[in-house]
Structure 1
Amino acid sequence: MSNSELRKGLAKELPSGIEVEFDEQFDAMFSYKAKNYALLTRSGDVIIKGGALKSRGLEKFQRMFLEEMIKRIMEGKGEEIGHLRHQFEKRIRNREMPIEMLMKTDTLQDSLEKYRAKIAGSARNRAAAYELALASGRNYKPGDQISYYIKATPKKVAAYEAAKPASEFDPQNRDENIDYYIAKLDDLVKKFSGITAEVSAPKQENLAL
């Protein structure tokens, strides 16, 4: 559908006197849920909107994988997602991911004293950022940020027990937990498995917004 055809079609449906302005035209749209969607620009860039698709809880490599996966869905190339996942897994296994891609940065919401009290009262679970803050001996306050990654351990332990400050990462002696990060990758694939399975080859209609 051309831009002019879309304009005319909308004009017929809207009440008299109401006009819609078109700021930009996109090649495709991926709608995940209300107020959570992605747009494919004519130059091939992906614009993602909504907390469900831009969660701050995701590491950078997850956000990059999610963007590339959604792009392939919008391009009608769902069959390439398996290869995309393999590429990311290979980089993780070969320890080729920069620590900036693997680390997570959390902002402390509570004071360390309040965190201790909540833990003592079973009001919340332990969290990596707070545990690292306590172990550091520094006077961290609400609003301070802590960057960390999950290191490999001899035995499987909770993530907060395996957390290590990103500032202590040694690129010459890498110790990130490979299985942990591959599992995070698989979690994303599973989350969207129902959608990717239904992706068909034809590209969606052009959208002008």
Structure 2
Amino acid sequence: MSEKLFCDLSSDRTQERALVGEVGATLPDGVKLEYEARYAAMLSHAIKNYALLTYSGEVIVRGAAMRSSRSEPYGERFLRQALRCVMQGDLVGVEQGYQETLRVLRTRSLPASDVATRFRLSKDAQTYLAGRARQKEAQYEALLLAGRRQWKSGEHVRFYRASNVSIAPKNSSKVPLKKSPGLGNFRLALSSAS
């Protein structure tokens, strides 16, 4: 098991490493304390849910409360930008990033893949189709509406619900919208990786 300890130290790396050595020497056998890295800033949301700002300006986000595999790419970008601004004390930058995100959403300036939710498929096509009459699931219906009849469990798909639009598979021209009763309309951006 690995745990992380973050300390607010006003010292240099040599002093930090010395402190880690001193504390590590007091720990019981089998428990090891290592110096991993130092960061310019940290924002802690909850236990094991935090953001770090490296000295080179990179934002590292950890924990399910701070990010989700289903998050839309535009939201991930905004979150990272906002976290960077907060950790740098730039609240005006947070507001500007928020207003710019609203603008591109309202003007529909983003590609379909940027507003699509990512799902990992847990059922293969045969399993889903066998139970489809009992319960329809949006991610599989989006695949079917895009003309896909075969897929494997573990494959990833990105899609979003839309109204009064057409289905647009990633890197292809638009095709007429098909409706799925009870699930709404879909615009699809398929991806079998990442």
* Same fold? TM cut 0.5: yes
For structure 1, which segment, 78-87 or 61-70, has the greater mean C-alpha deviation from structure 2 after superposition?
78-87
> Could you list the runs of 5+ residues in structure 2 that have no partner in the other structure?
1-9, 166-179
Aligned twin of 2:189: 166
Contact 1:36 1:51 in 2 (8 A): yes
Q: CA deviation at 1:31?
A: 1.4
- 1:55 and 2:59 matched: no
Which moved further from structure 2: 10-19 or 126-135? 10-19
Offset from partner CA, 1:3-57 (integer Å, 9 cap, x none): 2444455555554489854332210111122222211111111111223223111
Q: What pairs up with 1:143-162 in 2 under 5 angstroms?
A: 143-153=154-164, 160-162=183-185
Deviation at 1:109, TM superposition (A): 0.6
Q: CA deviation at 1:111?
A: 3.2
Contact 1:112–1:134 (8 Å) recurs in 2: no
Matching residue's letter, 2:115: L
Match in the other structure for 2:47: 34
Q: Distance in 2 between matches of 1:141 and 1:13?
A: 50
Between 1:10-19 and 1:39-48, the stretch displaced more is 10-19
User: Does the C-alpha gap of structure 1 residues 88 and 130 become closer, same or farther in structure 2, counting only changes over 3 Å?
Assistant: same
Q: Which residue of the partner structure matches residue 134 of structure 1?
A: 144
SS of 1:166 mapped into structure 2: strand
Please state if 1:2 is matched with 2:2.
no
Deviations 1:146-199 (A, max 9, x none): 332332339xx99942212226xxxxxxxxxxxxxxxxxxxxxxxxxxxxxxxx
Contact persistence 1:26–1:39 (CA under 8 A) = yes
**Residue 58 of structure 1: CA displacement?**
0.3
- Normalised by the length of structure 2, the TM-score is 0.66
TM-superposed deviation, 1:59: 0.6
The alignment status of 1:70 with 2:83, answered yes or no, reads yes
TM-score normalised by structure 1 residue count: 0.62
Cα distance, 1:102 vs structure 2 = 1.7
Percent of aligned positions that are identical: 25
1:116 Cα offset (Å): 5.2
Alignment match, 1:196: none
Task: Please give the residue correspondences for 1:81-120 in structure 2 after superposition, counting only pairs within 5 Å.
Answer: 81-115=94-128, 120=133
More deviation, 79-88/56-65 = 79-88
Query: Which amino acid counterpart does residue 143 of structure 1 have in structure 2?
Result: G
Distance (Å, rounded) in 1 between the aligned partners of 2:113 and 2:148 = 24
Task: Flag the structure with higher helix content.
Answer: 1
Instruction: State the aligned residue count.
Output: 162
Q: How far off its partner does 1:2 sit? A: 1.2
1:162-201 equivalent positions in 2, closer than 5 A: 162-166=185-189
Deviates more, 1:142-151 or 1:84-93: 142-151
State the alpha-carbon separation in 1 of the partners of residues 98 and 181 from structure 2. 25
Which residue matches 2:173?
none
Alpha-carbon separation, structure 2, partners of 1:80 and 1:5: 34
Q: Are residues 80 and 12 of structure 1, via their aligned partners in 2, closer, same or farther at CA, if it must alter by over 3 Å?
A: same
**What are structure 1's unaligned runs of at least 5 residues?**
168-209
Q: 1:137 to 1:60 in 2, by over 3 A?
A: closer
Q: Which structure has the higher relative contact order (CA within 8 Å, separation 6+)?
A: 1
